Every structure is written in structure tokens, then in C-alpha cells.
């Protein structure tokens, strides 16, 4: 045997050994668990990636209250949970997909489904026995549409994050207003009247706070209120730079620069206490979970917060939310679908919403004690028919990242609203063409 032959044999042996070692270290789910017991009862080891159920409280809710109920129904299924937050969900999903270790069940936001469904990451729930028709009585059509891509159901909503106007009743009364503004003209008039500055011109109280909310979502409330939309009805063209979209952004720019109801830097999304709760703002675009912060930071204001729709040519309200999906590559699709059905069911969804102060997606939960005792959530649920979502195109995750700098550029006066939105629409078109 020549030296080359020996070396070749040694290399082959090394490769074989490595393969055996790697195989031994690899996923053993195929051999260690079955895909169903064959008697109608599902089984398997599931992994779940979730940006909700965060913190010790959320973990306790999921693992000590909810999952034990699931195990009672499905004793042959075990669930391993990977917790994250929405800030890190992109990274988690990207690395999971790139590594091929996609969790069996993934929670993701409204506007995310299109991209993952388009690329075959998500299982068509219809093939697992869950259809849009089955759910149409439990959810409003617009909310259910957040989980649908090309007429197929890929996700079921658990909770909604809504944005609408919130005002301080006591501060309105001080300025002589009995009710929150009912039109954009009134909103401007009230905001100007409620703004307070010291003798040096330093802002003490914003008449209308826009900066504590993510700028994209804040803008979308006004876009919808102006009768605008993000995309054309067939989702082939961006329409947020339409006259309605430009008017919406111009309205915000005017509030900031002409009416000076708030100054740049007065608030931000990083603040610990919302300005409505420490008298630094009289009105704001708010999130339904402000009620939770109120109970912790300023319970004495419980009777003073009043929600209202921001109404232009039509009432504007934005909703995002969290939906449960099944991976198309799951080894245990039936078990994963069972878990999705359980987590989106009335009892589990109610617990998850209560923990986060969110709006249940299921219409039947409007009558629950939790909703009836939370004025902001109750308001959101009662107005869900006017709420509009974002997304709709598979490139939304890419497009949405460019929104905030564009809105900032307009608010800072670096670009006109028309320029900012035209540039953004140009980037959106490029993304959609790719």
C-alpha cells in the first residue's frame, strides 16, 4: 500500500468516525418520539418560541398553569419553551431558520406571517384540520386576516396590541373640555390649549404626546384616520405616500412645529413612566396595556384616563398582535397544531392577555371579567371593527424598518412629508420588486 493510499484510508476512517460522532450528537427526535400513537391521540416532543409570556410571571403562567392543562389533554406530548421578546424575535427566527432548527410552534406578530408563509416556513393549518371557516365565528374578519396568506390559514391570533387616543379627563376639564376630541380639528384645538410651557419656553406638559409611541405605529393611526392605507387593495403598490398619507404626516409635523404641542426629545419609547401618568401629557396616542402601568404607577388616575378614536375622514385605530403558527418542518405537526389550538383557545388566551394587559382576539372574551374591568381593553374590543393592521406583503418586515427614519426625517424638518414618504415608497417598491 502506498503512503497516499494509507493517508486516504486514514482520512476515510476519520470522516466516518466524525460522522458517527456527529450523528450521535444530533437530533434524536425521529427515534425517541413518535408522530402519533395511531389511536387519535397525538404525541411528541415540541419546541415553542414565544415573545409573550415574558418574565417570571409569564413563565409561571405558561408552565405552571397553562401547560399542565394541555398535558392533561395530551399526556404524550412534552413542550420545551424558548422565551424571547419582540426585540430579539427577528434574530431568534433568523438563526433558527438558517440552522434548520425551526421550533415546532412559533409565535409571531401581525405582518410577519406573509413572509414566513410565502417562503414555506409555516405549515398550512388547513392541512392540519383548522380552517378559516372554523374560526370565522370566533374572530372578526380583519383580525383573522392577519393569519391568512393567499386564502390559506397559517396562524391563529392570541392577542392584539391596539393603538388609539387616550386623554386625561381631569386635564381636559381644567381646560374646559367635557369630552375628548371627536375630530382632527378638535384634537388640534384641544392639544394647543392643553400644552403648557414655563416662562422660558421650556415644555412642561405636552398637549398631545406623539413620541412615547413607536413612530411607525403612531403614524399609521393617523394614516388610517385620514382614510389612507399602506398598500393598494391587491398589495402590489405602496399607497402610504398618497395624498391621504402625506396629509396625515403633515398633520403630525404641524402639531410639532406650528402648534408646538410637543418638542422633539420631550418623550421617547424608552421612558419608564408614560407622560399621561405623571402629568407630562394631557393626551397621547396610547397602547391598551397602559392600564397595567397605571395600576402600578398611578392607580389614583384610574377614573381619569379616557380612550377615544382619532377621527378624521374616518376613525383611525391600529392593531398589531401575536399569532401562533406551526412550522412546516415540524416532526409532530398534529401535536403542534393541538398546542396552537390550546394556546389560542379562550382560557389560555385570556390568561395570556391578562398577564400582558392586551386585547383578546376572540370576540367571545369581550364579556369576560378581565375585559369588563379594563376600560382601555374594553374600548379596544368594542371598536375592533374599525381597527386596521399593518403588513399584507411578504416584504413588510423589510419595509417597516425604514418607516421610523422616514417619519423622523419629516418630524425633524429634514424632509417634507411628501419627500419622506415618496423616498420610503421608492424603497418599498424596490423591496417588493426583488
Partner 1 sequence: MTTKPSGTVAGSEPATARRWRSRRRPSASRKLRRAGWLMVAPALGHSILWIAIPVLATLVLSFTDYRVISAPRWVGLDNYIEIWNDAVFRKATWNTIVYTFFTVPVSMAVAVVIAVLLNQRIVGRTLYRAAFFLPHVTATVAIAMVWLWMYNPQYGLLNGLLSIVGLPGQVWLGNPDWALWSVIIVGIWQGIGIKMLIYLAALQNIDPNLYEAASIDGASKIQQFFSVTLPMLKPATFFVFVVSIIGAFQVFDQIYVLTDGGPANATTMMTYEVYRSAFQNFRMGMACAQSVVLFAFLIVLTVVNRRLTGGDDT
Residue 227 found at the interface with partner 1 (CB under 8 A): no
Q: Number of residues in contact with partner 1, rule: CB under 8 A?
A: 29
By the rule CB under 8 A, 297 interacts with partner 1: no
C-alpha distance across the termini of the chain, in Å: 56
Binding mask 42-81 for partner 1 (x = CB under 8 A): ----------------------------------------
Q: How far is the CB of 279 from partner 1 (least distance, A)?
A: 13
Q: Please, what is the minimum distance in Å from the beta carbon of residue 410 to partner 1? A: 9
- One character per residue 191-220, x = contact with partner 1 (rule: CB under 8 A): ---------x-x------------------
C-alpha 59/C-alpha 48 separation (Å) is 13
- Dihedral angle over CA of 161, 292, 86, 319, nearest 10: 10
- Is 97 one of the binding residues for partner 1 (CB under 8 A)? yes
Across 51-133, the runs of DSSP E, i.e. the strands, are: 77-83, 105-109
Q: What whole-number distance in Å separates Cα of residue 67 and Cα of residue 64?
A: 7
Pseudo-torsion of CA 111, 420, 313, 166, nearest 10°? 70
Query: CA dist 40 to 34, 35, 131, 335, 338, Å?
Result: 13, 11, 19, 11, 12
Q: How far is the CB of 416 from partner 1 (least distance, A)?
A: 13
For residue 397, what are the contacts with CB-CB under 8 A and spacing of at least 6?
Answer: 90, 111, 112, 115
Considering only 93-101, 184-192, 319-327, 342-350, which stretch makes contact with partner 1 by CB under 8 A? 93-101
**Cα dihedral value 285, 357, 318, 278, nearest 10:** 0
Query: In the bound complex, what is the minimum distance in angstroms from residue 348's beta carbon to partner 1?
Result: 28
CA distance 81 to 62: 9
In whole angstroms, the minimum distance from the beta carbon of 235 to partner 1 comes to 18
Q: Which is nearer to partner 1, 252 or 335 (CB)?
A: 252
Contact code string over 109-148 relative to partner 1, x by CB under 8 A = ------xx--xxx---------------------------
Which member of 127, 237, 408, 422 binds partner 1 (CB under 8 A)?
408
Should residue 98 be labelled a site residue for partner 1 when binding is judged by CB under 8 A? yes
13 binds partner 1 (CB under 8 A): no
Q: What is d(CA 320, CA 109) in angstroms, rounded to the nearest whole number?
A: 7
Instruction: Pick from 388, 404, 418, 419 the residue near partner 1 by CB under 8 A.
Output: 404
Q: Do 203 and 263 contact (CB within 8 A), yes or no? A: yes
Tell whether the torsion through CA atoms of 82, 83, 88 and 90 is positive or negative: positive
Q: Is 100 in the site for partner 1 (CB under 8 A)?
A: no
SS (H, E, C) 208-222: CECCCCCHHHHHHHH
Residue 268 within binding range of partner 1, rule CB under 8 A: yes
CB of 425 to partner 1, least distance (A): 15
Binding range to partner 1, per CB under 8 A, among 151-159, 354-362, 378-386, 401-409: 401-409
* Number of CB atoms found within 10 A of residue 72's CB: 8
* Residues at the site binding partner 1, with contacts judged by CB under 8 A: 3, 90-91, 94, 97-98, 115-116, 119-121, 200, 202, 263-266, 268, 270, 397-398, 401, 404-405, 408-409, 412, 414, 434
Amino acid at each position: 500500500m502506498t503512503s497516499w493510499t494509507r493517508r486516504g484510508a486514514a482520512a476515510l476512517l476519520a470522516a466516518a468516525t466524525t460522522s458517527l460522532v456527529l450523528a450521535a450528537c444530533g437530533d434524536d427526535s425521529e427515534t425517541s418520539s413518535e408522530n402519533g400513537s395511531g389511536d387519535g391521540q397525538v404525541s411528541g416532543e415540541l419546541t415553542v418560541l414565544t415573545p409573550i409570556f415574558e418574565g417570571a410571571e409569564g413563565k409561571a403562567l405558561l408552565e405552571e398553569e397553562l401547560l399542565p392543562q394541555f398535558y392533561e389533554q395530551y399526556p404524550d406530548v412534552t413542550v420545551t419553551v424558548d422565551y424571547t421578546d419582540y426585540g430579539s424575535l427577528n434574530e431568534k427566527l433568523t438563526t433558527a431558520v438558517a440552522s434548520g432548527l425551526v421550533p415546532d410552534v412559533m409565535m409571531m406578530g401581525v405582518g410577519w406571517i406573509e413572509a414566513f408563509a410565502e417562503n414555506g416556513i409555516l405549515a398550512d393549518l388547513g392541512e392540519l384540520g383548522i380552517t378559516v371557516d372554523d374560526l370565522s365565528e370566533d374572530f372578526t374578519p380583519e383580525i383573522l386576516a392577519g393569519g391568512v396568506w393567499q386564502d390559506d390559514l397559517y396562524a391563529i391570533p392570541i392577542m392584539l396590541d391596539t393603538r388609539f387616543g387616550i386623554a386625561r379627563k381631569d386635564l381636559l376639564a381644567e381646560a374646559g373640555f367635557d369630552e375628548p376630541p371627536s375630530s382632527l380639528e378638535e384634537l388640534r384645538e384641544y392639544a394647543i390649549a392643553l400644552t403648557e410651557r414655563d416662562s422660558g419656553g421650556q415644555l412642561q406638559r405636552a398637549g398631545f404626546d406623539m413620541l412615547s409611541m413607536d413612530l411607525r405605529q403612531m403614524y399609521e393611526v393617523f394614516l388610517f384616520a385620514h382614510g389612507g392605507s399602506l398598500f393598494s387593495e391587491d398589495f402590489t403598490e405602496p399607497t402610504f405616500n398618497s395624498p391621504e398619507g402625506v396629509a396625515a404626516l403633515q398633520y403630525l409635523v404641524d402639531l410639532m412645529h406650528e402648534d408646538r404641542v410637543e418638542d422633539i426629545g420631550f418623550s421617547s419609547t424608552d421612558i419608564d413612566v408614560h407622560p399621561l401618568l405623571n402629568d407630562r401629557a394631557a393626551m397621547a396616542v396610547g397602547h391598551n396595556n397602559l392600564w397595567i402601568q397605571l395600576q402600578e404607577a398611578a392607580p389614583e388616575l384610574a377614573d381619569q384616563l379616557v380612550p377615544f378614536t382619532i377621527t378624521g375622514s374616518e376613525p383611525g385605530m391600529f392593531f398589531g398582535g401575536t399569532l401562533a403558527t406551526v412550522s412546516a418542518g415540524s416532526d409532530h405537526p398534529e401535536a403542534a397544531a393541538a398546542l396552537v389550538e390550546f394556546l389560542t383557545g379562550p382560557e389560555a388566551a385570556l390568561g395570556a392577555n391578562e398577564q400582558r394587559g392586551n386585547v383578546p382576539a376572540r370576540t367571545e372574551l369581550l364579556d369576560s371579567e378581565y375585559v369588563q374591568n379594563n376600560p382601555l381593553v374594553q374600548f379596544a374590543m368594542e371598536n375592533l371593527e374599525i381597527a386596521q393592521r399593518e403588513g399584507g406583503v411578504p416584504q413588510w418586515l423589510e419595509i417597516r424598518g425604514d418607516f421610523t427614519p422616514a417619519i423622523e426625517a419629516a418630524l425633524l424638518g429634514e424632509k417634507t412629508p411628501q419627500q419622506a414618504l415618496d423616498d420610503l415608497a421608492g424603497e418599498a417598491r424596490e423591496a417588493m420588486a426583488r
